[in-house]
C-alpha cells in the first residue's frame, strides 16, 4: 500500500502544525505515558507533528517514525532534523520486529486504512509491542463503524483497554483517544 500525498495536503498539514501544534499534537504527545527511556513507534508519522513533541520527551529513549510515503518521511526528517534519537522507516509490507517497542502510537491514521488492510496491520502493531507495551491512538469520531472495527481488532490481538476519552480538537471536531496494554 503506497501513497504519496499531494502538495496541497502537505501544505495544509504544515499549516495545521504551525497554528495548532501545541493544542492538538503536543496535547496528544503529553498524554502518552513516557518517562524518557522507551522505544517508541510513531505509526503513520506524516510530517512528524506528534513525533516533534515525543522526541523531546525521549531523553534516553528512541523513536522510530514509520510511514507509507517517502514524501512524508522526508518532511518528517526535516521536522525532526535536530533530534539524534530518531530512525525513519518506510512501510513496504506489514512486518515489524516482534516485541521491540514499549509504546506504539497512531494519530489520525487508522481510520484511513482500508478495513482489509487494517485487519493485517493491527496484529503487526500488537506483535511489535513488548510485554505490557502500550498502544495509543487518536481517531476522528466521524465514522463510528470504523472506530468499532479498530477497537475490535485491537482487543482481538491481546490488547486490553486501559483508558478512553472523547475530546474536542480545535478546528477538527470530536476525536476518540484510546490507550491499550499488551497482556
CATH class of 35-92: alpha beta
CA distances from 104 to 12, 29, 47, 96, 173 (A): 25, 12, 17, 12, 24
Q: Are 55 and 24 in contact (CB under 8 A)?
A: no
> What are the residue boundaries of the structural domains of the chain, listed by start?
35-92, 99-183
Q: Output the pLDDT for position 147.
A: 97
Looking at the DSSP bridge assignments, the partners of residue 175 are 140, 167
What's the grid cell of residue 115?
A: 478495513
User: Can 35-92 and 99-183 be said to share one CATH topology?
Assistant: yes
pLDDT in tens, 96-132: 999 999 999 999 999 999 999 999 999 999 999 999 9
CB neighbours of residue 60 within 10 Å? 9
Q: Which residue did the predictor score with more confidence, 29 or 21?
A: 29
Grid cell at residue 51: 513525533
Q: Indicate the DSSP class of residue 111.
A: G
The sheet with strand 101-107 has its strands ordered as 86-90, 62-67, 39-43, 101-107, 129-140, 173-182, 159-169
Give me the chain's average pLDDT, please. 92
Classify domain 99-183 by CATH number. Answer: 3.40.50.150
Res 4 pLDDT > 90:
no
37 exposure class (CB count in 10 Å sphere: 0-12, 13-18, 19+)? exposed
Condensed to tens digits (0 to 9), the pLDDT of residues 5-23 reads 777 776 777 777 677 767 7
φ/ψ (deg, to 5) at 107: -115, 110
Look at residue 21 in the predicted model and tell me its pLDDT. Answer: 64
pLDDT digits (tens, 9 = 90+) for 44-73: 999 999 999 999 999 999 999 999 999 999
Q: Which carries the bigger pLDDT value, residue 43 or residue 24?
A: 43
Q: Is 110 helix (H, G, I), strand (E, B) or coil?
A: helix
Amino acid at each position: 500500500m503506497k501513497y504519496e500525498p499531494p502538495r496541497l495536503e502537505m501544505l495544509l498539514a504544515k499549516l495545521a502544525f504551525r497554528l495548532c501544534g501545541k493544542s492538538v499534537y503536543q496535547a496528544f504527545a503529553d498524554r502518552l505515558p513516557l518517562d524518557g527511556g522507551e522505544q517508541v513507534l510513531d505509526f503513520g508519522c506524516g510530517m512528524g507533528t506528534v513525533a516533534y513533541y515525543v522526541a523531546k520527551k525521549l531523553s534516553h529513549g528512541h523513536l522510530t517514525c514509520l510511514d507509507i510515503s517517502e514524501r512524508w518521511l522526508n518532511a518528517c526528517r526535516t521536522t525532526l532534523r535536530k533530534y539524534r534519537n530518531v530512525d525513519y522507516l518506510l512501510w513496504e509490507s506489514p512486518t515489524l520486529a516482534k516485541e521491540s517497542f514499549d509504546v506504539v502510537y497512531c494519530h489520525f491514521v487508522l481510520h484511513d486504512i482500508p478495513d482489509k488492510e487494517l485487519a493485517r496491520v493491527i496484529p503487526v502493531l500488537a506483535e511489535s509491542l513488548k510485554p505490557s507495551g502500550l498502544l495509543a491512538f487518536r481517531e476522528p469520531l466521524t465514522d463510528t463503524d470504523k472506530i468499532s472495527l479498530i477497537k475490535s481488532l485491537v482487543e482481538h490481538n491481546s490488547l486490553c483497554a486501559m483508558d478512553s476519552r472523547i475530546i474536542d480538537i480545535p478546528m477538527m471536531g470530536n476525536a476518540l483517544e484510546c490507550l491499550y496494554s499488551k497482556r
